[in-house]
């Protein structure tokens, strides 16, 4: 390495170290980032004994999730008043069931299936990674999921959140800026002392526009094995995102937390 | 016991058992109920080395807390816009310091002292009691303290909340009904499936008016040893309050939780 390049490299490392020491709060997206919605929902659909093969169960999970953004958009646009994810999930479920020949499911089965979103399994590194990151940071949630759903996920996955925040607290869905700025306001900190951790680059870029720092987590299996083949996940490094990590333990190592 | 009395007694026990099985959520007041604000604030004031004897340190704690309700009332009445407890605590502190010959304290000391409310110690039974109660119920907070303060108290006291709720979420201070009803709405339950646990009967009675169940916790030392002599705590049983317990472990036993 040339002397000039070496100096630049050292300055860049020093700036990065200083920037890390300024970060106080890690705010986590949840669906896909902390928990495996695709695998968990596919499995729960399979366990209902409805006669669907594995591929069809995965298709139900994918279709259910596909309805998520359009449903939230109806709230964001004002077409719907404030509506929790639990209720949006149920509206989407009622819409898609006939497409899978399941229009005959009764109220009790629909209600029970809708609660599958409260029982999503965390990715294998999630709880250990959060414990490691807590040595140096406060960790909170910032998903669109509602508070009672998040409380159930935390208990189910033994996730050691310092605080469960949600779109429900701010009465705005991501990517509305009220959500990202809201985290900083709750902790009475400037936005650059908060870092969003997410497996979705659009979420991270919306947070960056509000002044937050950003960390991308790969989660290649978010959409199942087919999702990898179909190229549904962009796992490349993006220079506009501050950190890029395989999983939470990798992020903890990059941020200087004992793992 | 006469046969008639025995029947009445059995019916009353059966009704009570049924009522307990309907309760899903225990929502806890925090200052005084979960944590010992008086002892913790007195101690922190003493540790600042300001030359106050123990009685004066306790007087600072009492004066600080005395300003709490009037300050919240200014928010409840609309005289002040939404203001977090952290900021109300600081306004009260600035008001009372001259009364104790401490008007000379600088910004750094005032800010540090104000954060003493984020480091309040739990009562000795609190963490163990919450763990016991979690075997059967979801446990959440419902205090007037702000979210970041509550997150710090939970970490400091290792308190295993399923969810941290606060007046800050509902943008209303207790005893406004929006707070009590808000807990039931977050969990999508009718109010009678939520029980408020508090060391203050006025808080419990306001919750009961909103349809919540109620449990009183004695906490005789909430205002220190002098508070007991001065009769600041009403430790009598009140027939309009559903449960009366010495502490959280006693409550857990009464509610059938393994302790």
> In this prediction, what percent of chain A has a pLDDT beyond 70?
93
Closest C-alpha among A125, A123, A115, A134 to residue A222: A123
- Give me the sign of the Cα torsion angle A85, B22, A152, A208: positive
Q: B214 — phi, psi (to 5°)?
A: -140, 140
Determine the Cα–Cα distance for residues A148 and B179; give it in Å rounded to an integer. Answer: 16
More confident residue, A227 or B42: B42
Three-state secondary structure call for residue A228 = helix
Determine the Cα–Cα distance for residues A78 and A159; give it in Å rounded to an integer. Answer: 33
Determine the Cα–Cα distance for residues A26 and A24; give it in Å rounded to an integer. Answer: 7
Average pLDDT over residues B183-200: 98
Say whether pTM exceeds 0.90. Answer: yes
Instruction: Give A212 to chain B, closest Cα distance, Å.
Output: 18
Q: What's the pLDDT score for residue A13?
A: 62
A168 in contact with B at a CB cutoff of 8 Å? yes
Asked if the model's pLDDT at residue A2 lies above 90, the reply is no
pLDDT per position as a tens digit, A181-229: 999 999 999 999 999 999 999 999 999 999 999 999 999 999 998 888 8
Q: What's the pLDDT score for residue A113?
A: 96
Interface of A with B in 12-71 (CB under 8 A): none
Determine the Cα–Cα distance for residues A11 and A90; give it in Å rounded to an integer. Answer: 52
Long-range pairs, B41-49, Cβ under 8 A, ≥24: B41/B65, B41/B116, B41/B117, B41/B120, B42/B224, B44/B113, B44/B116, B44/B119, B45/B113, B45/B116, B48/B109, B48/B113
Q: What's the pLDDT score for residue A151?
A: 98
Nearest CB partner across the interface for A148, out of B154, B164, B187: B187
Determine the Cα–Cα distance for residues B192 and A208; give it in Å rounded to an integer. Answer: 43
Asked whether the beta carbons of residue B164 and residue A169 sit closer than 8 angstroms, the reply is no
Determine the Cα–Cα distance for residues A27 and A140; give it in Å rounded to an integer. Answer: 5
User: How many alpha carbons fall within 13 Å on the CB side of residue B221?
Assistant: 14
Three-state secondary structure call for residue B140 = strand
What CATH number labels A20-36+122-254? Answer: 3.40.50.1000
Dump the DSSP string for B1-68: --HHHHHHHHHHHHHHHHHHHH--EEEE--BTTTB-HHHHHHHHHHHT--S--HHHHHHHHHHHHHTH
Nearest CB partner across the interface for A138, out of B138, B151, B187: B151
Determine the Cα–Cα distance for residues A164 and A4; give it in Å rounded to an integer. Answer: 46
Q: What's the pLDDT score for residue B4?
A: 64
| A25 DSSP β-pair partners | A138, A194
CATH 1.10.150.240 assigned to B37-118: yes
A186 in contact with B at a CB cutoff of 8 Å? yes
Q: What's the pLDDT score for residue A129?
A: 98
Closest C-alpha among B68, B71, B76 to residue B37: B68
Nearest CB partner across the interface for B162, out of A151, A162, A169: A151
Q: What's the pLDDT score for residue A3?
A: 64
Asked if the model's pLDDT at residue B8 lies above 70, the reply is no
Instruction: Give A62 to chain B, closest Cα distance, Å.
Output: 26
Asked if the model's pLDDT at residue A11 lies above 70, the reply is no
Asked if the model's pLDDT at residue B237 lies above 60, the reply is yes
H or E stretch at B75: helix B68-76
More confident residue, A171 or A259: A171
Asked if the model's pLDDT at residue A232 lies above 90, the reply is no
Encoding tokens for residue A38? 């695709």
Per DSSP, B123 falls in state: P
ipTM: 0.93
Mean pLDDT lowest for which of A29-38, B43-52, B157-166? B43-52
First-to-last CA distance in chain A? 31
Nearest CB partner across the interface for A147, out of B84, B150, B163: B163
Confidence band for B20, pLDDT divided at 50, 70 and 90: confident
Whether the CB-CB separation of A211 and A190 falls below 8 Å is answered with: yes
Which chain B residues have a beta carbon less than 8 Å from that of A165? 147
Q: Strand A163-164 and strand A194-198: pairing? A: unpaired
Average pLDDT, chain A: 94
Average pLDDT, chain B: 94
Topology of the domain comprising B20-36+121-254: Rossmann fold (3.40.50)
Confidence band for B231, pLDDT divided at 50, 70 and 90: confident
Closest C-alpha among A212, A222, A153 to residue A187: A212
pLDDT per position as a tens digit, A125-158: 999 999 999 999 999 999 999 999 999 999 999 9
Confidence band for A19, pLDDT divided at 50, 70 and 90: confident
What are the sequence ranges of the domains in chain A? Answer: 20-36+122-254, 37-118
Determine the Cα–Cα distance for residues A6 and A1; give it in Å rounded to an integer. Answer: 6
CB atoms within 10 A of CB B246: 15
More confident residue, B228 or A4: B228
Which chain A residues have a beta carbon less than 8 Å from that of B151? 138, 140, 162-163
Structural Rg of chain B based on CA atoms: 19
Closest C-alpha among A37, A65, A19, A29 to residue A248: A29
Asked whether the beta carbons of residue B147 and residue A168 sit closer than 8 angstroms, the reply is no
Three-state secondary structure call for residue A173 = coil
CB atoms within 10 A of CB B86: 17
> In this prediction, what percent of chain A has a pLDDT beyond 90?
87
Asked if the model's pLDDT at residue B19 lies above 90, the reply is no
Dump the DSSP string for B114-150: HGGGGSPPBPTTHHHHHHHHHTTSEEEE--SS-HHHH
A121 in contact with B at a CB cutoff of 8 Å? no
């Amino acid at each position: 390495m040339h002397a000039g390049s070496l100096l630049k490299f050292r300055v860049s490392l020093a700036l990065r170290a200083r920037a890390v020491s300024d970060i106080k709060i890690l705010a986590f997206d949840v669906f896909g980032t902390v928990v495996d919605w695709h695998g968990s929902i596919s499995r729960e659909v399979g366990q209902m004994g409805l006669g669907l093969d594995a591929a069809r169960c995965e298709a139900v999970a994918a279709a259910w999730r596909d309805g998520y953004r359009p449903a939230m958009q109806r709230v964001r646009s004002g077409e719907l008043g404030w509506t929790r994810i639990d209720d949006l999930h149920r509206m989407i479920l009622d819409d898609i069931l006939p497409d899978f020949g399941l229009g005959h499911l009764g109220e009790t089965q629909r209600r029970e299936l809708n609660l599958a979103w409260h029982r999503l399994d965390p990715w294998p590194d999630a709880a250990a990674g959060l414990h490691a990151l807590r040595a140096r940071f406060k960790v909170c949630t910032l998903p669109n999921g509602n508070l009672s759903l998040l409380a159930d996920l935390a208990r189910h996955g033994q996730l050691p959140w310092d605080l469960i925040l949600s779109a429900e607290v701010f009465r705005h869905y991501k990517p509305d800026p009220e959500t990202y700025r809201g985290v900083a306001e709750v902790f009475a900190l400037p936005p650059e002392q908060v870092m969003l951790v997410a497996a979705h680059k659009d979420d991270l870029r919306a947070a960056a526009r509000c002044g937050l720092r950003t960390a991308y987590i790969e989660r290649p299996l978010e959409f199942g094995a087919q999702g990898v083949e179909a190229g549904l996940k962009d796992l490349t490094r993006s220079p506009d995102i501050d950190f890029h990590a395989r999983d939470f333990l990798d992020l903890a190592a990059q941020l200087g937390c004992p793992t």
